[in-house]
Structure 1
Amino acid sequence: MTAFRTIHATPLPAGSVIEARLPGAQFADCYETTDTAPGHSALQSWLDVVARTPGWTRTLMALRNRLVRLVGLKGLGQLNDGTRRDASGYRVGDRVGIFEIRHLSDREVVMGQDDKHLNVQVSLHKRMQGGQAVLALGTVVHIHNPLGHAYMAVVAPFHRRIVRAMLARA
């Protein structure tokens, strides 16, 4: 049985790379939980998280990919498509599942996916807070057109559930 942890909504981590990308964004959120592997790099923790993604999220992503093609958007695949379990071989510019690595450090990995309707950036940030290791998963979205607004109106509630479920199983 998987142990579930408490997940809290929180502001984007102060001083993080993802926080610096917030200006002009139309959507942003961040959730945090206890980091059970504080010795891992941010990217290794991300790989661990997506390796444990609940099956229902794969189903939702597959449905999303089919539906967006009807309006001319690209299917993305799955969060962990083609990922390796070891973070050491990844560099900025490499693809990790559906995202491209934009920033890579031991404490934070920022990944993104750009399309004509919006740009999405996701960050996994690790820090110590009050003597406890914390893992924060933040998202920033810059929307370019009405299709992007419509897309986010539909996707945002699912996004929040998926992020919480992923962190709970991390």
Structure 2
Amino acid sequence: MTSTVREITPNVDAGTVLAGAQFIDAFRVEIGAKAVNAREACTRMVLHGPCWIDALLRLRNVLVTPFGLKTSGEGAPAPHGLIGLFPVLSETPERLVAGFDDHHLDFRIVVDVTGDARDRQVTSTTLVRTHNLLGRTYLTLITPFHKLVVRSMMGRIA
């Protein structure tokens, strides 16, 4: 089965997940009969990505450190542990919400697993709420990379 990642219209309650979010996008991949829960899907996305994504994250961390931005989940509440650098904020087998708040922006990643045993889908939705010019500038600069990274990460699930 060939897995195609496609951008879709987001279908989350933004007011509940991240009230005031100014940016929301979502990507979906069909995984067929593969049995996976939301934590497994998120782990495959975040921890088993291509090397070029790790290189981009390292570059990002170097570039944002002078601005005092978080480079990992340090200091963020993680009631359900971490997946990579992302604190898991809530979790069921069908949905995992991760993310953290920073002084320039707050973000959430929502990973949903839907469908029956023959036709499962995984959707990753990203929500961002900016707080200031730094947050808006950062979001503008990172958005093209974000879309490439999420597509690549979603392809790792299947």
Deviation at 1:160, TM superposition (A): 0.5
- SS of 1:122's partner is strand
Match for residue 111 of structure 2 among 124, 128, 136: 124
Identity across aligned pairs (percent)? 29
Letter matched to residue 46 of structure 2: V
Aligned partners of 2:95, 2:6: CA distance in 1, in Å? 19
User: Residue in 2 aligned with 1:65?
Assistant: 61
Q: Is this contact kept in 2: 1:17–1:110, CA < 8 A?
A: no
TM-score of the aligned structures, taking structure 1 as reference length: 0.79
Q: 1:26-70 CA distances to partner (integer Å, 9 max, x unpaired)?
A: 111000011256422210121122232011000000000000012
Aligned partners of 2:141, 2:19: CA distance in 1, in Å? 23
Aligned partners of 1:49, 1:18: CA distance in 2, in Å? 22
Q: Does 1:11 align with 2:15?
A: no
TM-score of the aligned structures, taking structure 2 as reference length: 0.85
Q: Is this contact kept in 2: 1:69–1:75, CA < 8 A?
A: yes
Unaligned runs of 5+ in 2: none
Letter matched to residue 86 of structure 2: F
Q: Is this contact kept in 1: 2:21–2:128, CA < 8 A?
A: yes
RMSD: 2.3
Aligned partners of 1:100, 1:132: CA distance in 2, in Å? 29
Deviation at 1:166, TM superposition (A): 0.8
User: Residue in 1 aligned with 2:97?
Assistant: 110
Deviation at 1:143, TM superposition (A): 0.6
Deviation at 1:18, TM superposition (A): 5.8
Q: Does 1:25 align with 2:12?
A: no
Unaligned runs of 5+ in 1: 78-90
User: Residue in 1 aligned with 2:70?
Assistant: 74
- SS of 1:135's partner is strand
User: Residue in 2 aligned with 1:145?
Assistant: 132
User: Residue in 2 aligned with 1:53?
Assistant: 49
Q: 1:47-100 CA distances to partner (integer Å, 9 max, x unpaired)?
A: 1222320110000000000000122222228xxxxxxxxxxxxx8342222111
Q: Is this contact kept in 2: 1:27–1:141, CA < 8 A?
A: yes
